[in-house]
Amino acid sequence: MAPLSGITILDLTHVLAGPFCTQSLQDLGARVIKVERPGTGDDTRAFPPFLQGESAYFATLNAGKQSIALDLKAEADRAIFERLLQRADVVVENYRPGVMERLGFGWEALHLRHPRLVYAAVSGFGQTGPDASRPAYDMVVQARGGVMSITGESGGPPVRVGASIGDIVAGMYLAQGVLAALYDRERTGKGAFVDVAMLDSQVAIQEHAVAIASATGVAPGPTGARHPTITPFATYRAADGFVVIAAGNDAMFAELCAVLGLGIAEDPRFATNAARCENHALLKRLIETVTLGEPVAHWLAVLEAAGLPTARVQDMVEVLRDRQILARNMVLPVTPHPGGPKFVATGNPIKMSTLPEVESLPPAPRLDGDRQAILDWLDRGD
C-alpha cells in the first residue's frame, strides 16, 4: 500500500498550483476527485499542445485523478458535494479568498460540520493581508517576490524563470502543509486550515538573495548562470557549446586548476572563494582560454574523471532521453483512454521503500467521466 492509501482528496483547483499539489499527493497514493466546472472543466483542458484534441498539459498534471462536474450554486450538485465532504479527508481549493465562503463552503463552515476535514487553500497573496483579494498569476508573483530581479544577465531586462515556479513552489508547499495537517490530525482528531500564498513561496526560496539584501542593504541583481556567492559555479564556453563547472570549495578549485593546467590555485586573487567571487570575470576568462580548446564531451569526461561536478546544458528533448532520468522512472508513459492519444508525464521524484515504483501512469480523467463511479461509491459507503 502506498503511504496515502485510504486518503480521499476533493480537488477544486484548476490550472497549476493546486493541481500540482494534488498530483503529488496522488502519486503518494491518495485518491483525488477533481470537482470541475460543468461544460469546461479545468482551464488547462484547453491549453496546448494537443494530441488528438486532448491537452498534453492537462494530462501531465492530472494523471490518475477522477472527475465529477458540479455546479456549487445548484442545489442538486451542492447536495452531492455535501455527500463527498462526508467521505473526504482533505479539500483543496485555489479560488480568491472569500469565494468559498460565499458558496457556504469556507473553512469555518466546513470545520463546524466536518471537524476532521483538512482544508487547504492556495492563492496569489494568501488569505490575510492588505492585498489578499488581488488576482495573481505565476509571472506576477515572480515579479513582486523579487525572483525576476535576480534572473537573467547583468544589465539586461528582467526575465521570468522558464519553469512556472510561482505556481509550482506554492503547490509543493501546499502539499507539505496537507501532509503536516494529516499527521497533526492523528494526534488531535481535528483537521486544520492550510493557507499557502504564491508570493510567500517566492520569498521563501531565495536563500542567497535574502541573505545579501539583509546583510548589506544592497539589492542583488541578476548574475546570469553564475552563482552569486560561489565561484567558479557557472557555465563556460567549450569549442561546441557550454559546460557547467561547479567547484564549490577550495579543494575542488585546486583540482580544477590541475585539470585545466592553470597555475592559479594559490594566486591571492583566486585562493579563497571570497576572492574568486570578487574576481569572477577575470577567472571566467582564464578558464575559458582553456575550455574553448576542446568540445563539451571532452570536458565532461575529464571533469567527471577528476570527481568535479559538471553537466552538459541539455534541452528538454535530451532530458527526456537522459539515462539517469529514465533509470529513476522520471519520464513515464500515460496509459491512454481507448483510442486516445499517448502522452508522457513526469514521474514521482519521491522514492520511498513503502511506495511501489510504477512504470506507467493512469490516464487523466475525462470531464465528468467518473460521475457514476463516484455516485456509486457514495451509495455503497465503502
Is 227 one of the catalytic residues? yes
Neighbouring-strand partners of residue 235:
244
Q: Where are the alpha helices (DSSP H) in 145-272?
A: 165-188, 198-204, 207-216, 250-260
pLDDT at 200: 97
**Measured in whole angstroms, how far is the alpha carbon of residue 146 from the centre of its chain?**
18
State the catalytic residue, choosing from 227, 280, 298, 337.
Answer: 227
**pTM for this one?**
0.93
What domains are defined for the chain? 8-205+323-380 (3.40.50.10540), 233-313 (3.30.1540.10)
pLDDT at 381: 79
Q: With H, G, I as helix, E, B as strand and everything else as coil, classify residue 341.
A: coil
Could you please report the per-residue DSSP string of 255-292?
Answer: HHHHHHT---TT-TTTSSHHHHHHTHHHHHHHHHHHHT
DSSP letter (8 states) at residue 361: B
Q: Which three cell numbers, joined as nine digits, stand for 27?
A: 502519486
Q: Where are the beta strands (DSSP E) in 27-178?
A: 31-36, 50-51, 54-55, 66-69, 90-93, 118-123
* One pLDDT digit (tens) per residue for the chain, 382 residues: 899 999 999 999 999 999 999 999 999 999 999 999 999 999 999 999 999 999 999 999 999 999 999 999 999 999 999 999 999 999 999 999 999 999 999 999 999 999 999 999 999 999 999 999 999 999 999 999 999 999 999 899 999 999 999 999 999 999 999 999 999 999 999 999 999 999 999 999 998 899 999 999 999 999 889 998 999 999 999 999 999 999 999 999 999 999 999 999 999 999 999 999 999 999 999 999 999 999 999 999 999 999 999 999 999 999 999 999 999 999 999 999 998 999 999 999 999 999 989 999 999 999 999 999 999 999 997 7
Handedness of CA 216, 221, 224, 225 (dihedral sign): positive
Start-to-end C-alpha separation, the chain: 17
Length of the chain: 382
Residue with cell 544577465: 153
